[in-house]
Amino acid sequence: EPEVTQTPSHQVTQMGQEVILRCVPISNHLYFYWYRQILGQKVEFLVSFYNNEISEKSEIFDDQFSVERPDGSNFTLKIRSTKLEDSAMYFCASRDGTVSNQPQHFGDGTRLSIL
Amino acid sequence: GDSVTQMEGPVTLSEEAFLTINCTYTATGYPSLFWYVQYPGEGLQLLLKATKADDKGSNKGFEATYRKETTSFHLEKGSVQVSDSAVYFCALTPDILTGGGNKLTFGTGTQLKVEL
């Protein structure tokens, strides 16, 4: 069964540095998402992406964050000038979108640790 | 805004016991409802879904019925196994007729531990 893949599985970065989290969505999917889960808290929506532009974003997704689909397969989340509170598990998801109410499929996540 | 409320965990059961994890939601119209499961060290996997009132989602012995009148989507399994130990998340996406996008809103998750 096709799956969403995320790299790296664990990223350790110094505070203030930039980090790029990478995702390869399922190949025929049209909608892409990033979520994060701070340790012990609920999974929170960050951003959704469709047709090469952001379709929705949360209050968390401020100017520090950006997303990009640089080619036909990758979907990246860039965090500039990282802060301690950015430490979390980041999940990428994708959805078919050609049929309504199709579920989102998630990757295994990238654990981001800011030191 | 939309919200999902789940029962607090951890829930500890003996193998073959009956499982119920309560989930209620607040949303306009008829959202789509989902249960996701997260096994240790893994990502979120879709367990089951229901997209309209009175629908029953089912998978791997788990079931949940979309109850509009009580705004609930409780997860049940008749006989749990040790391998069911995981964190279970209830979630929703907005009713497409409300124009609310398609982001998932999650509950806090309920950890299930099944012992022999």
For A37-95, the pLDDT digits (tens) are 998 888 999 999 998 999 999 999 999 999 999 887 899 999 999 999 999 999 999 99
Q: Looking at per-residue confidence, does A108 or A72 come out higher?
A: A108
Smallest Cβ distance to B101: which of A6, A42, A56?
A56
Could you tell me if A29 lies within 8 Å of chain B, comparing CB atoms?
no
Distance (Å) from the C-alpha of residue A78 to the closest C-alpha of chain B? 20
Q: Considering only CB atoms, which chain B residues are within 8 Å of A109?
A: 43
Smallest Cβ distance to B103: which of A45, A101, A105?
A45
Contact B109 A42 (CB under 8 A): yes
- Encoded tokens for B70: 């009580």
Q: Does the pLDDT at position A101 exceed 80?
A: no
Mean pLDDT of chain B: 93
Q: Considering only CB atoms, which chain B residues are within 8 Å of A35?
A: 104
Confidence at B100, pLDDT banded by 50, 70, 90: low
Gyration radius of chain A's alpha carbons: 13
Mean pLDDT across the stretch B100-105?
85
Confidence at B74, pLDDT banded by 50, 70, 90: very high
Percent of chain B with pLDDT over 70: 98
Smallest Cβ distance to B108: which of A6, A42, A100?
A42
Q: Does the pLDDT at position B85 exceed 90?
A: yes
Q: Considering only CB atoms, which chain A residues are within 8 Å of B106?
A: 42-44
* Phi, psi of B64, rounded to the nearest 5 degrees: -155, 140
Looking at residue B7, what is its pLDDT? 87
Q: Does the pLDDT at position B42 exceed 70?
A: yes
Best mean pLDDT range from A76-80, A103-107, B36-40: A76-80
CA B75/CA B88 separation, integer angstroms? 9
Query: Kindly report the CA angle at B71 between B69 and B74, in degrees rounded to 5?
Result: 115
For residue B66, count other CB atoms closer than 10 A to its CB.
21
Looking at residue A71, what is its pLDDT? 87
Q: What is the DSSP string of A38-103?
A: -TTS-EEEEEEEETTEEEEE-TT--TTEEEE--SSS-EEEEE-S--GGG-EEEEEEEE--SSTTPP
Q: Looking at per-residue confidence, does B83 or B101 come out higher?
A: B83
